[in-house]
A and B are shown apart, each in its own frame.
Chain A
Amino acid sequence: MALSSFLNLLRRVRLVESVNDVIKIVERYAVEKGSIKPDRMLFVVKPESVRKLFEELVDKVGYERFYLSTVVGSDMKEENRFRLDYYVVILPEERTIVIRTYIPRDQPVIDSIVDVVPAALSAENETYDLLGIVFKGNPALRRGFFVSSDVVDKGVYPLRKDAAGV
């Protein structure tokens, strides 16, 4: 009995460490910090380091301690760049943190993380189809995954702020 409760305690301690572990890793890549309501920690990183960051996460803490919830791409037209937010949920507490990066609007290319984190598949495909951000190295990327073919034929990305006719 005593032993099992001791083991339990040990497990708890390790779990707490896991959240800090993840945050510590992410923090090292961060160039800027902030938060999104309600209470989601935000880390701005360089676009080149997104892939490295996830590689390190998988390497150091493993798949069982986090999952990628979604990728939100937004067109910041006035700043002439795209913004990509990777929402990562840290287990087992389910703390959501945000990894944000910016890529230039005229050259919207970023390394794909689909081979590192398979959960990125749906999100990357959608972001490519709707916003035109190219995830280099994702083999499943194609137009028309979500939008209808007439939009594809016109060659517009519907979620861009200057998209015409959608």
Chain B
Amino acid sequence: MRRPRLLELTLKNLFRKPATIEYPRKKTPVESDYRGLQYADLTKCTGCSICALECPANAIAMTPIPQGYEAPKTNPRRLYPLINYGKCVFCYRCVTVCPFNAYITTPKYDLANAEKTINSSPLSLSTLRKG
């Protein structure tokens, strides 16, 4: 019975690059369709609240669009889904149930930022014109 050459593998590893990724200095490579941060495109959203009802983690709160933003006519109640990314489990149920395909998906996965609250309001509101 010949022994498997574990020692050889060990020695080889000594000269290999480390396998670990030094996050956050280096980003973990992810697929372009990785389920990352998603937000509603407010030019398409009608404020119907279906995504908020269907979210299994209860992460979506329907919130009024702040003053100073031009809400589309299709959204008479001026509501938009505000996703709390701390609660969100990234199942994308909201994306698939929205009747108006309003969600924009991204492969962004890092949640940590300098702001205190991590939610979708900056991303969502950036889809609207100010005025």
Touch between chains A and B, by CB atoms below 8 Å: no
Query: Which residues of B pack against A, CB within 8 Å?
Result: none
